[in-house]
Structure 1
């Protein structure tokens, strides 16, 4: 990445305030929004490096917001191990592939997530399947995370299918996103795509992300969460379509 300019800093500020606001209203979406916006303006590898610290801080906050961390970690540890292995392996694509094609992969991930979330299929994973399904979902989530910087597929629908209560689901998502963020940072460093300058900008992005979360939490009580969610998903789908089309445009 080139030396940060005033316009780049303003863009980062606006992006992470917006991404934090989405997370404050919906409980998720900060990395997805940040990758979608920044990935349309810079290489996906650079965008992923910038989101690591604010995503980690906000996800740890979400993870520690309830009493079930240890129980969820024991239940989901094979999924978390799969996420780590898949992310470190998949990040080679984010770091080394032509940015046009890694951007296309990011676009596909955004469209897939938006379509799945819009449809909201009523999935239910039988308990007897968890011993093999959890590591498989974790590995696939990790590969997608490593290749695109987006943490949500298929981890989010899988965790929803476990029929956890509301508070446990929020914590389980926080656990998955925290592990994904740490593994993405490790993968980017292993493949030489996480540099000192990007680390500094990532640290600077924490404050606007937390400000956005606070605003989103206040906004949640004043708007229809369902309407906000539909607008958010439509925005992600349009961003995804633009990224998918980019390699084929003159």
Structure 2
């Protein structure tokens, strides 16, 4: 890579990390969309492996209620992991062309509904069986698109969680999706990384975490309503980005 390309990569990773810090999602989706303008998708995915996984782990583990969130949502996390393996093995993996368009359209529509203040609520009595089901569905989409957001994010938001509980629960779900995606990719013919790519992806942690920390501070400083607006605007923008990239030109 040239110095100019490396500068753009660092800025993209910082921007993607900032979006994740504010909205608790979006690093791999935004990162893939922008990095793919500079390099082949396989190289972009290799760069994003470490930042995606580790920022998800940090998002879950650094919050104030690690054990309560883990006790409540571990079945959903395990189902997400299993679903990701199934999606990668049985549904064509990241080579699927239909899933990104469906995912993008769903994200965009849900983001607009949220910004329009159309509320969704999941009764507590349904959570024990619905959480694993939503995790499995999220995993299937992760295995075919590389993105764990749907339907995990809207489902978790429908539970009426406090802001930091929501952020941690999404971090747990996304972490399990990332582990499952790495496992799924490792079983395929194409290697995940070369030594060169490994060094690049480790270096990518610095701007990604810097952006995430900036975004985290912004999230803690703004109001609940502003956070809600950022949350759903992030969903809509991520959906539009995914949908546009999935459409044939």
Q: Which moved more, 1:28-37 or 1:231-240?
A: 231-240
Partner deviation per Cα, 1:152-193 (whole Å, 9 max, x = no partner): 000011111222222221211111112112221121112244
Question: Partner of 1:208 in structure 2?
Answer: 207
Question: Partner of 2:171 in structure 1?
Answer: 174
Question: Partner of 1:32 in structure 2?
Answer: 29
Partner deviation per Cα, 1:215-246 (whole Å, 9 max, x = no partner): 33455658966776676556434433432222
Q: Which runs of 5+ in 2 are unaligned?
A: none
C-alpha distance in 2, partners of 1:198/1:108?
30
TM-score, with normalisation over the residues of structure 2?
0.81
Equivalenced residue count is 239
Alpha-carbon deviation of 1:54? 0.7
TM-score, with normalisation over the residues of structure 1?
0.81
Question: Partner of 2:79 in structure 1?
Answer: 82
Q: Which moved more, 1:180-189 or 1:23-32?
A: 23-32
1:159-238 alignment, distance < 5 Å: 159-191=156-188, 192-196=190-194, 197-217=196-216, 221=221, 232=234, 235-238=237-240
1:1-250 alignment, distance < 5 Å: 4-6=1-3, 8-39=5-36, 44-92=41-89, 93-95=92-94, 97=95, 101-102=96-97, 105-120=99-114, 121-191=118-188, 192-196=190-194, 197-217=196-216, 221=221, 232=234, 235-246=237-248, 249=249
Alpha-carbon deviation of 1:110? 2.9
1:45 and 1:94 in contact (8 A); partners too? no
Q: Are the structure 2 counterparts of residues 141 and 157 from structure 1 closer, same or farther at C-alpha, using a change threshold of 3 Å? A: same
- Across the aligned residues of Structure 1 and Structure 2, the Cα RMSD in angstroms comes to 2.8
1:32 and 1:150 in contact (8 A); partners too? yes
1:53 and 1:202 in contact (8 A); partners too? yes
Alpha-carbon deviation of 1:144? 0.6
Q: Are the structure 2 counterparts of residues 60 and 115 from structure 1 closer, same or farther at C-alpha, using a change threshold of 3 Å? A: same
Q: Which moved more, 1:226-235 or 1:35-44?
A: 226-235
Q: Are the structure 2 counterparts of residues 19 and 199 from structure 1 closer, same or farther at C-alpha, using a change threshold of 3 Å? A: same
Partner deviation per Cα, 1:197-220 (whole Å, 9 max, x = no partner): 433322121111112123334556
C-alpha distance in 2, partners of 1:64/1:123?
27
C-alpha distance in 1, partners of 2:168/2:212?
16
Partner deviation per Cα, 1:17-68 (whole Å, 9 max, x = no partner): 1101212332322222113323566555543333221122222222122342
C-alpha distance in 2, partners of 1:242/1:213?
25
